[in-house]
Every structure is written in structure tokens, then in C-alpha cells.
Structure 1
Amino acid sequence: MTSVQLQLSRPGADSCDTGLTTAPWDIDLAPGYGPGASADDVIPAAAPRQGELPAEYKQAPDAELHERIRAAKATLGDRVVVLGHFYQRDEIVEHADYVGDSFQLANAALEHPHAEAIVFCGVHFMAETADILSRPEQSVILPNLAAGCSMADMANEDDVEACWDALTELYGTEPDAEGKLPVIPVTYMNCSAALKAFVGRHGGIVCTSSNAATVLERAFEAGQRVLFFPDQHLGRNTAVAMGISQDLMPLWRPRKPNGGNTEAELMDAKVILWNGFCSVHKRFSVAQIEQARAQYPGVQVVVHPECPLPVVQAADVAGSTDVIRRMVEAAEPGATIAIGTEINLVNRLAAQHPDKTIFCLDPVVCPCSTMYRIHPGYLAWVLEELVAGNVVNRISVDEETSADAKVALERMLAALPR
């Protein structure tokens, strides 16, 4: 392993906020998203909070927790499936039956209709999606209810409904001569079940970073314009790659008349972008890429499409977490790869490919502070409760919301990544 990898991997390195060494059950007691989150990310008052974790799980040594998780999984067998997102810490990933991005894990949830419980090691909106797609008798469990998403919280149902009302008042609701509706809503997976349901009711579709291009193409087959939320960067990057001018992508700022735009700007628009973002990915910069290229001639730079457009344009490749993983795997031994995404994935790729020099573009970027809240203590707790016949931390979406959201999600699953 190279010195770059050692610097990024060792505990306490500058790649992480030192506050992340604190046990997550301590972070859970404080308001906010946790260490590493942007100071601008204000958590909603109604955001789910995690109750007190029993002391035995907080005090148990790591080795004991891992053994208890393995024992509980062995006892439960096929009755439980554990899903782990790429951004989870290694101590969780080692216990996951499936590891992937949000698109892959949505499919994995569908592939286990006979499991009694789906334990989703990710964040709240992902567990909601699994509940929508799973059978009614299946239980979907989020080990730590405080594992939310600041981006998802940047678009709430009231603000999106107000935006939609303003846009339909301006555009009308009748299709044009080609049968295309005035505007089609597209939401990124990183949103609440209520917003997925909103999209389903209005003829729209959910996308992930894997299939955003396919989804936008399908949206334009049905509509003259697209309202894309909550991540402005994924929407902008995908639309620019399709050849759409940035001049035709006004930014919608909630609670401002016309989202802070003129009627003329909205009439000319092809993609209306919501003013949302990922706190981790917006930290990456062109200057970091320039520094990487200066320090490592021949370096390959790959970034996530949640990064700002100038960063995506300066990189060699932009793609989902799975695209990043596959690019690293395909690189020749001795390759140097700088990555612009969440540090847990970067460090894991570096450990898995010691014949390559792999490092994070941002030397002080933190793990997704809410993904970090899924700790082996929480996983051991929910699994042992299942063994005892108790379902804790169940994520349930009401039937009406689930029905509408499922329509949009099924459209997403049918829009295969290119």
C-alpha cells in the first residue's frame, strides 16, 4: 500500500473529522447531522431520532459485537437479509449479504421476497424505498433511526407542492401538439417517500446516479421540461452531458416567488433544478484536481456526479459509486487514481487494490456523517431482537404513499443504466 493510502486509512488521519471517532450513540443525542456535515445543513425538527441503545451494545468490545452479529445471522438464516451501502464503514460491510449503490440495493430488496426482515444499513430514504418495494409482511429495519440525509431534507413535500403549483399555473397542464406535457417531475432517489409518491402521481420517475441519463431521456420523451430535485448537481451534470445549455437550467429556490426566477426564464427552461446538494460531494474542487495532476502525473481522476459541474468537467470520468468501483477494478496495476466521493468507499477500494495508488481528492473530506451512524452495536441489537422475536426500528410507509411511490420506483427500475 502506498504512503497516500496509508495516510488516508490510518485512524485519526486528516482525511476525517476527529469527531467521527466518537461513538455514534453520543452523536445521536445532539441535534444536527453529526461531525463533518455542513454548518448550512439544518436538520428538520421532525427528523427521526434514535432512542437509547442498550448499554451492553455500547460497552461490548468490537470482537464481541462481530461475533454476536455472526451468531444472530446464523440463527436467523434466510429469514433475514442485510443490505449495505457502499458508503458504510467496513465493520458493517463485512456483515452485509449485498453491498451496492442505491439502485443495486433497491433491486436486491426485490430479490428476497421470502425473507421475513430486510436490515438496511444505509440511510432513512433507502429503508423507505425497500419498504415500498418489499411485500407487506416483510419488515424493513434501519439499525439507527438517526441515519438520515441532509440532501433529502432539502426538499420537503410542502415546498415541492408549492413549486409544482407555481409551474403548472405558468405552463398549464395540457400537452402540446406532440402529446408532451408541459413539465415532468424527476426526483433523485435521495428524497422522502412522500416525494417519490408526488412524482408517481404526476407522471414522473425516480432516478439514481446510475441511471439518471436514461431517466432524463425518458422524461423528455413525455414532457417539454423537467423539474429535477433535490440535487441540483446531478441534474445539471446529466443535462449538460445531454447537450442542454446551462442557460436553460434555472435554479429553483424554495419559498421565493417563481423560485427566484423570472417568468421568461422559466418559460425558456428545459430543466428546472432544485437548490439542493450533497454536503460531502460539494466539497470537491477543480483546485484539488489540479493539485492531484501536478503531484501525480498521469493520474486518473474519477468523481461522483453529485459534485459541482466544473469538477465533473475537470475529471476524466464521472459516475455513480458502482462506476467508480468498476473503473478502479479495470485499471492496470500501478495506476494512480484520485477519487471524488465519500471516504469510506475510497479507503475500501485502496485496501482492495494495493497494487494501485488510490486516494481521495479532498484530504479533509469526512465520511457521510449519517451513514456513519450505522455502528456494529446497532446492527447486533436489531439482529438479536429479531432472534428474540422482536422487530425494532421498523420503517413503514403508509399504503397510499407507498402505492404512488411504487409507480415512480418501478419506472426507475425499468430505466436501466446505460
Structure 2
Amino acid sequence: MSILEMMNKETVIPERYKTMSVEEIEARVKEIKEKFGTRLYIPGHHYQKDEVIQFADDTGDSLKLAQLSANNNLAEYIVFCGVHFMAETADILTNENQKVLLPDMRAGCSMADMANIEQTEKSWVKLQELFGDTMLPLTYVNSTAAIKAFCGKHEGATVTSSNAKKMVKWALTQKERIFFLPDQHLGRNTAFDLGIPLEAMAVWDPDKEQLEYDGALKDIKVILWKGHCSVHEKFTVANIEQMRNDYPGINIIVHPECSHEVVQLADYAGSTNYIIDKLEEADPNSIWAVGTEMNLVKRLTKVHSDKQVLSLNPDMCPCLTMNRIDLPHLLWSLESIESGSPINQVTVEKEIAHDAVLAVNRMLERA
């Protein structure tokens, strides 16, 4: 079932949850967590609101949380506080007796939505007409289960922002070139760090069904899907210049989903976990501008009160889809479990799950 079909089936959250006080909601969440004990597991992504994260059993990036969910054989119910593709990955990796719920089915990912399976399969045919059997598909884990399955079926794999370099290296030992979905920026930044020049990278525009490239096709090593993260793309060169002007000696650290120009001007670039670790290791009284989602930046500001931690873009808003999950939706999800009628269960069709697991396992084997 597609995300749109699931959203259409979703019941609107009852009005009473919107009128409850924060104290009432928190008390009920605690009560249900205690009642269910190990039968209930709540993973929370780093980008979630603090009001939700406080109840998470584990926090981390999407793949880590999916793996922790898969390793948690005691949990009958996994209430995933993240976005839809994360809950899909958790469902793929967990067993049939476990139910994965998403508190708000509107919690999606604009980047993942930029590559649908119909466009991808059509693009693959057209690209094979240009390049023959010389491509290996790789997809960022920030993609739908169907896209993961596409990569699994075509001998490809998934990647995370932490292991992208390792996976791109591996892919180029398998085929002459790679087809990287859905985030062009992570693909470009990763390939460039591995020594592949920008001149050897092309962008595939799925809407226009054409390749954006000026040189000879034989010189292309990386084909990038024209997708991006709507949050990370908003960090700009002007932001960096302003920060360096306002705070001499500032350290600038960004996520590799940022544009190539921004990553090149930053002092450090890496995954969410890399950013968290780097701030943990940083000297007291140092100044940092962080180019990633605002909820995490605010949390780092609180945690590292001995340092000055700022958002690289002071006008940045939190990820709108990630912020869909709030206390009322969390409680609604938990009370549905308590009543014996779980809502918003995320399930991946067996055939898709089978092929998607192939892609994920090829990555995990090289992790």
C-alpha cells in the first residue's frame, strides 16, 4: 500500500487529544509505557521534537533505529517517531509478529518523495539505452521501500550518510558507473571526496526525462537523481560568509545533504552522528555554526552550554514533515494499542520487502 493510500485511510486525530494539557498527555504516555514494558518500543529520530524525544527508548539516525527495532525481539509494538520511510525500513527488518506504527501518517520526507518507483523504472530504461549494462543503482536510505527494492533487484544497495563513501567505492568495483538516488547533493559530495571530478558527474532530471550534462557520455562515472533535502538545501554560501564575518574563528559543520558549494566552504561535513560526536569532542568556549535540522541544533545548544552553538541559517525552520509527530499524536498511537485497535500501522508488501532487504543487507555486509 502506498503512503497516499495509507494517508487516505487514516482517521483524523480525535479532538480530545488537542484539548488535553501537556501534563495530562505526558502522564498518560508514561502510564502506557509502564503498562506495556518491553512489549512497547519507541525509537526517536534525532530530528524529532524534544516533547517526543523525552519518551524515546533510543535515539539515533534512521538506519540505526531500524536496526535496533529489528534486534528488539521483545517488542510487539514499535511506535516509530520519525517519518514514513523510516517506519517502512523498520517493518522490512522486523519480524512478522511485530507491528510498526507511525503516530502521524503525514510525517513524510520531501526528498524520498522526489523519487517514485514509476519514474525510477522509466528512467532506468532510458539510461540503459544510453549506457547499457554499465550502471549500479545506489539509494540513500532516505527513500521509499519501493526504491530500495528497485536497487536490490538490480544488484545495488542502500547507503547512509555515514557509509556513503564506502558504498560508492564498492559500487564502482562492480560496475563502470553508479546511478545515485534520490539526493544529488549527498551523491555529488561523496563522489567528489573520493576523487571523482564534477566533470564526470551528470544529473538525471526525471520530470524532463533527460540528462543534464555537457560532455561526452563515456566520461560519466556518476549519474545523480535530481532530488534534494528541502531543509539542507536552504543553507547557503551567504550564510557561511555571514557567520565568518560575525564570529571570527567560528567552526562551521554541515551535513553532506547540503549543496556542494556549502560543503566545500565548511570546516567539517558529515552525518548526523558525526556532527553530534564532533560537538561532543569540541573544546569548551569554541563557537560552532551547524548546518542541519533545527530541532537537533537546538538540542545541541542545550547539551553543550559550555560552547556557543548556532544554526548556520538563523532563519531556518524545523523540518515540517518531521515535526508532524507531537505529543497528542504519540498518545493517540499508544492509546490505540492499549485499546487493542492499533492505528497507522506501516506495512511493506512481501515482494517489495524481499528485494529491499537485499539492498539493505548488501550495505550491512560492508558496514
Q: Structure 1 length normalisation: TM-score?
A: 0.84
Provide, for residues 50-77 of structure 1, a one-character-per-residue CA deviation record: whole Å limited to 9, x for no partner: 5311122111111111111111111010
Question: After superposition, where does 1:28-177 map in structure 2 within 5 Å?
Answer: 48=7, 50-173=10-133
Secondary structure, aligned partner of 1:216: helix
Equivalent AA in structure 2 for residue 309 of structure 1: H
Equivalent AA in structure 1 for residue 203 of structure 2: L
Provide, for residues 170-203 of structure 1, a one-character-per-residue CA deviation record: whole Å limited to 9, x for no partner: 2323xxxxxxxx1100001111111100000000
Residue 229 of structure 1 corresponds to which residue in structure 2? 181
Distance 1:121 1:293 in 2: 35
Equivalent AA in structure 1 for residue 183 of structure 2: D
Residue 39 of structure 1 corresponds to which residue in structure 2? none
Secondary structure, aligned partner of 2:7: coil
1:130: Cα distance to partner? Answer: 0.3
Q: Structure 2 length normalisation: TM-score?
A: 0.96
Distance 2:285 2:93 in 1: 42
Secondary structure, aligned partner of 1:310: helix
2:267 matches 1:316: yes
Contact kept? 1:163, 1:259, Cα under 8 Å: no
1:114: Cα distance to partner? Answer: 2.5
Identify which of 374, 386, 389 aligns with 2:340: 389
Residue 193 of structure 2 corresponds to which residue in structure 1? 241
Provide, for residues 24-64 of structure 1, a one-character-per-residue CA deviation record: whole Å limited to 9, x for no partner: xxxxxxxxxxxxxxxxxxxx976835531112211111111
Distance 1:259 1:66 in 2: 51
1:261: Cα distance to partner? Answer: 4.6
Contact kept? 1:289, 1:361, Cα under 8 Å: yes
Residue 217 of structure 2 corresponds to which residue in structure 1? 266
Contact kept? 1:109, 1:134, Cα under 8 Å: yes
Distance 2:98 2:267 in 1: 43
Secondary structure, aligned partner of 1:52: coil
Distance 1:277 1:258 in 2: 17
1:210: Cα distance to partner? Answer: 1.3
Distance 1:273 1:63 in 2: 47
Secondary structure, aligned partner of 1:250: strand
Residue 36 of structure 1 corresponds to which residue in structure 2? none
Residue 356 of structure 1 corresponds to which residue in structure 2? 307
Distance 1:415 1:384 in 2: 40
1:346: Cα distance to partner? Answer: 0.2
Identify which of 241, 245, 248 aligns with 1:294: 245
Distance 1:126 1:277 in 2: 17
Contact kept? 1:98, 1:105, Cα under 8 Å: yes
Distance 1:265 1:87 in 2: 41
Question: After superposition, where does 1:248-263 map in structure 2 within 5 Å?
Answer: 248-261=200-213
Residue 176 of structure 1 corresponds to which residue in structure 2? none
Distance 1:89 1:250 in 2: 37
Contact kept? 1:250, 1:266, Cα under 8 Å: no
Contact kept? 1:48, 1:145, Cα under 8 Å: yes
Residue 227 of structure 2 corresponds to which residue in structure 1? 276
1:257–1:68 Cα change, 3 Å = closer
Provide, for residues 207-250 of structure 1, a one-character-per-residue CA deviation record: whole Å limited to 9, x for no partner: 11111111111111111100001100000000000000101111
Tell me which stretches of 4 or more aligned residues in structure 1 moved more than 2 Å.
44-51, 169-173, 255-262, 264-267, 412-416
1:267: Cα distance to partner? Answer: 2.9
Distance 1:274 1:102 in 2: 21
Provide the aligned length of Structure 1 versus Structure 2. Answer: 364
Provide, for residues 77-134 of structure 1, a one-character-per-residue CA deviation record: whole Å limited to 9, x for no partner: 0001101000000001000001011232122122202210111100000000000000
2:342 matches 1:375: no
Contact kept? 1:250, 1:265, Cα under 8 Å: no
Distance 1:229 1:266 in 2: 19
**Alignment RMSD:** 1.5
1:141: Cα distance to partner? Answer: 0.4
Contact kept? 2:63, 2:86, Cα under 8 Å: no
Contact kept? 2:123, 2:209, Cα under 8 Å: no
